[in-house]
Amino acid sequence: MEARRKTLSKLVMSLRVLIVPDKFKGTLTAQAAADAIARGWRKARPGDRLELLPMSDGGDGFGEVLADLLGARRKSVRTVDAAHRPLTAPWWWEPRTKTAIIESAKVVGLALLPRGKFHPFELDTFGLGAALEAAAANGARHILVGIGGSATNDAGFGVARALGWKFFDRAGAAIESWTDLPPLSRAVAPRRKLIRDLRVAVDVQNPLLGVRGCSRIYGPQKGLRKRDFARSEMCLRRLADILARDLGRDDRREPGAGAAGGLGFGLRAFLSARLLPGFDLFATHAALDRRLRMCDVVITGEGALDRSTLMGKGVGEIARRARARGLPCIGLGGVVNDRASLTRLFTETHALAPDLTDGESAMRQAAPWLELLSNRAARSLALL
């Protein structure tokens, strides 16, 4: 009887629920995911107080998430994509602190290109350099850049060229493509330094080169083949060697140097950027710890929940902080694997598609599926 009374009490009590999902890649933005979760939850528990906090750890959606947190307004810049096709890209401006927010995926993102049309050897980050230059020309004192989701593997060579760096081979001939870097002999910095305070949100901690480097780990999803690895590594290693010699600092092993096809390395080497875990940057600007102190239940999620979720990903870090405060944390995913590992941090997990048969249907109609899943989680809350 007492157990039943406690269950009924929990069902009728108004809870403070923090909804803090990442994107469901290819289907829902973080904001759309948060909205769907909220709709489903309200249908089951209309008396609860919900706070929606879309999350990004540096990848797709970073710009809009940070802009909402900082109260920045949207602007645009005419530039080029990774294949040098004309593009009007968004960026965001917060005038009080003169802070610019740029999302590399909106300029040189893989999702902007026709699938399979371009090889990474044909692509570079020149367009992102033009966006950075526009922000600096607007008077930016601080620039925040999220660098996930890129199509490129040029270690920021294109950014450097756009900002005035010059590269020469032993004969003094200019090098204008990152795949021509093996004979690089000299890198010449521009006289004017336009960008002073650059903070870069990285969503991985890989080094630039080697078995855990950008070419081998993330290159294949951009179109690099095994036979391309040697050439890619040769080009990036030569760039790293020359910059280490000329700058007196070797950034190739810096955590996050391998992010976004080595863009983390390039922004650090060419622009003295600070590479920061994207989740930490989000958590700071979102005052996440304060929000956790003020809630009773946490709901998070992304496209896939598995063992890698616990290895520094934003959703896993949300669960870790919730667990540290003794808060129940519910994880929602398009697919969920390694449930035994996930139970170390998540109170419970739910999948949009419990089996592969349902998977394609769930991804095509992710919002209603996620709403249904959230509703189910809310109804099961009395069992927590």
**Distance between CA 200 and CA 276 in Å, rounded?**
6
Q: What is the pLDDT of residues 21-75, one digit of tens each?
A: 999 987 899 999 999 999 999 999 999 999 999 999 888 899 999 999 999 999 9
Highest mean pLDDT: which range of 55-64, 239-248, 299-308, 372-381? 239-248
Q: What is the per-residue pLDDT for 6? A: 42
Query: For residue 314, what are its two tokens?
Result: 């934003």
Does residue 110 sit in the same domain as residue 129? yes
Residues 236 and 256 in one domain: yes
Same domain, 153 and 206: yes
pLDDT band at 356 (very low <50, low <70, confident <90, very high): very low
What pLDDT, on a 0 to 100 scale, did the predictor assign at position 333? 92
Q: What is the pLDDT of residue 313?
A: 84
Q: Comparing 115-129, 205-219, 348-362, which segment has the lowest mean pLDDT?
A: 348-362
Task: Check whether residue 274 and residue 219 sit in a common domain.
Answer: yes
My answer on whether 94 and 37 are in the same domain is no
Of 261, 280, 299, which one is at a domain's C-terminal end? 280
- The distance from CA 147 to its chain's CA centroid, rounded to whole angstroms, is 6
Among the listed ranges 5-9, 39-43, 237-241, which one has the minimum average pLDDT value?
A: 5-9
Tokens of 108: 């040189």
**For residue 3, what pLDDT band results from cuts at 50, 70 and 90?**
very low
Q: How confident is the model at residue 12 (pLDDT cuts 50, 70, 90)?
A: low
What is the token pair recorded at 306? 């598995």
What is the structure's pLDDT at 358?
Answer: 52
Q: Compute the distance between CA of residue 100 and CA of residue 338 in angstroms, rounded to an integer.
A: 39
Give, in degrees to the nearest 5, the angle at Cα 248 between 247 and 254: 90
Boundary-marking domain end, from 233, 252, 280: 280
Residue 319 has pLDDT above 70, yes or no: yes
Q: Is pLDDT above 80 for 8?
A: no
Same domain, 188 and 331: no
94: DSSP letter = E
Q: Which domain holds residue 301?
A: 2-54+288-383
Last residue of a domain, one of 280, 304, 331: 280
Residue bearing tokens 């050439």: 231
Asked if residue 266 and residue 143 are part of one domain, the reply reads yes
β-pair partners for 300 = 331
Q: What is the pTM of this model?
A: 0.88
Number of domains, the chain: 2
**Range with lowest mean pLDDT among 234-238, 253-257, 300-304:** 300-304
Q: What CATH number corresponds to the domain at position 128? A: 3.90.1510.10
pLDDT at residue 196, rounded to an integer:
87
CATH code of residue 48: 3.40.50.10350
Residue keyed to tokens 């598609």: 353
Residues 46 and 192 in one domain: no
Instruction: Check if the beta carbon of residue 240 is closer than 8 Å to that of residue 250.
Output: yes
- Mention every residue, 6+ apart, whose C-beta is less than 8 A from residue 1: none
Q: Which residues are CB-neighbours of 19 under 8 A, at least 6 positions away?
A: 34, 37, 38, 41, 50, 51, 52, 53, 299, 300
Residue 156 identity (one-letter amino acid): G
**Residue 5 banded pLDDT, cuts 50, 70, 90:** very low
The pLDDT of 285-305, averaged and rounded, is: 95
In this predicted structure, the answer to whether residue 235 has a pLDDT above a threshold of 80 is yes
**323 and 370 both lie in a single domain:** yes
Considering the domain architecture, whether residues 354 and 377 belong to the same structural domain is answered as yes
For residues 148 and 248, state if they share a domain: yes
Per-residue pLDDT reduced to its tens digit, 173-211: 999 999 999 999 999 999 988 898 999 999 888 999 999
How many angstroms separate the Cα of 85 from the Cα of each of 23, 75, 94, 95, 160?
27, 20, 28, 30, 18
Q: Are residues 6 and 82 in the same domain?
A: no
